[in-house]
Amino acid sequence: MKASLFYRIASVLLLLFAAGHTLGFRQSDPSWGVDTLLGSMRSIHFDVQGFSRTYWDLFVAAGFSVGVFYFFAAVLAWQLGGLPAQTLALMRGTAWAFALCFAAIAVVSWRYLFVLPIVFSVVITVCLIAAAWLSARPI
Amino acid sequence: MKASLFYRIASVLLLPYAAAHTFGFRGRNPEWGVDVDAVLRLMRSVHFDAQGFNLTYWDVFSAFGFFFSVFLLFAAVLAWLLGGLPAETLARVRSIAWALAICFVADTALTWRYAFTTPIVFSMLISVCLIAAAWLSAEPRSV
C-alpha cells in the first residue's frame, strides 16, 4: 500500500465532509424545537470592537471557516498524494502534523458533536496516519 | 526577500491568533447586556437530538470554535515547516502554498462579513504573508 492511495482516499472523504458541513451546518430540524433560540441568536445584537454582531453571525463565521478549512485539507491531501516519494519524505513533518490535526478534530467531534462528523473525522484520521507512516518509510 | 521569512512571520502571527481565538471565543463582555445573557442561556439549555446524541447549540458553537483553533495551530506548524524547506522542494509544493494562501483570503472575507477587528486584522496580515511567500516560492532561483 502506498501513501498516495491513503491521501487520495482522505481527500475524497474530506471533500464530502466539507460539502456536507458547509451545506448542512445552518439547517435545523423542526422537531428540535429550537426556533425561539435561533430567533434570539439572529435578532439580539451587541457591539464588539465597533461592529454590531449577533451570536448567529459568530456561529456562521465559525461554521464557514471550518468549511473552508475542510476544503483546504482536501486540496492538501490531494497534493500530498501527488508528490514524488522523495519530496513526500521531506514533507513528513507536515504529514504528521496533518494527521495530528485531524486526530484533534476527531476528539472535539466526539466531545461535542454527533455520528456523522465523528465517523468522517475518525476515518480521515486513520487514512492520514497511514499515509504519514508510509511517507516516512525509506524508499 | 525570501519565502521562508514570510512563512516564519505568518507562523508567528498565527500563534497569538490561535491563542486569542481559543481563550476568547466563548467569552462574554458584561457590556453586551442582559439580552445577550438570555441568548447564551438558551444556547446552553435548549437540548435537541441529533443522530442519537443529545446536543445544545452551545456544544455545536464550541465544536466549531475549537475546530478553528486546531486549524490555526496546524496552519502555524505548516507555515513554519514550509519556511524550512529547501527552495527546490518549496517550488515543487507551490500548489500547497497557494491553497494555504487562498484559504486565509477566504477566512479574511468571512471575518470581514461576520466578525470584528482583531480577527480581521490577523487574518489579513497572515493572508498577505502567505501570498507573498507563495509568490516567492514559485520564483526560479539561480544557484
Question: Which residues does chain B have within 8 Å of residue A112's beta carbon, measured at their own beta carbons?
Answer: 55, 59-60, 62-63, 66
Closest chain A residue to B54 measured between Cα atoms? A114
In this structure, of B7-21, B38-52, B118-132, the range with the lowest mean pLDDT score is B38-52
CB contact under 8 A, B115 and A44: no
Question: Which residues does chain B have within 8 Å of residue A97's beta carbon, measured at their own beta carbons?
Answer: 74, 77-78, 81
- From CA A94, how far away is CA A97, in angstroms rounded? 5
- A52: enclosing H helix or E strand: strand A51-53
- Indicate yes or no: pTM above 0.90: yes
How far is B100 from chain A, CA to nearest CA, in Å? 7
Classify burial at B88, counting beta carbons within 10 Å of its beta carbon; exposed 0-12, middle 13-18, buried 19 or more: exposed
- Residue A64 touches partner B, C-beta closer than 8 Å: yes
- Residue B121 touches partner A, C-beta closer than 8 Å: no
How far is A68 from chain B, CA to nearest CA, in Å? 6
In degrees and rounded to multiples of 5, residue A22 shows phi and psi of -65, -40
Its ipTM equals: 0.94
Sign of CA dihedral A45, A51, A55, A61: positive
- From CA B17, how far away is CA B9, in angstroms rounded? 13
- Residue A49 touches partner B, C-beta closer than 8 Å: yes
Contact A29, B27 (CB under 8 A): no
- B49: enclosing H helix or E strand: strand B47-50
Locate the domains of chain A by residue range. Answer: 3-27+65-135
Using one digit for the tens of pLDDT, what is the confidence trace for A75-124?
999 999 999 999 999 999 999 999 999 999 999 999 999 999 999 999 99
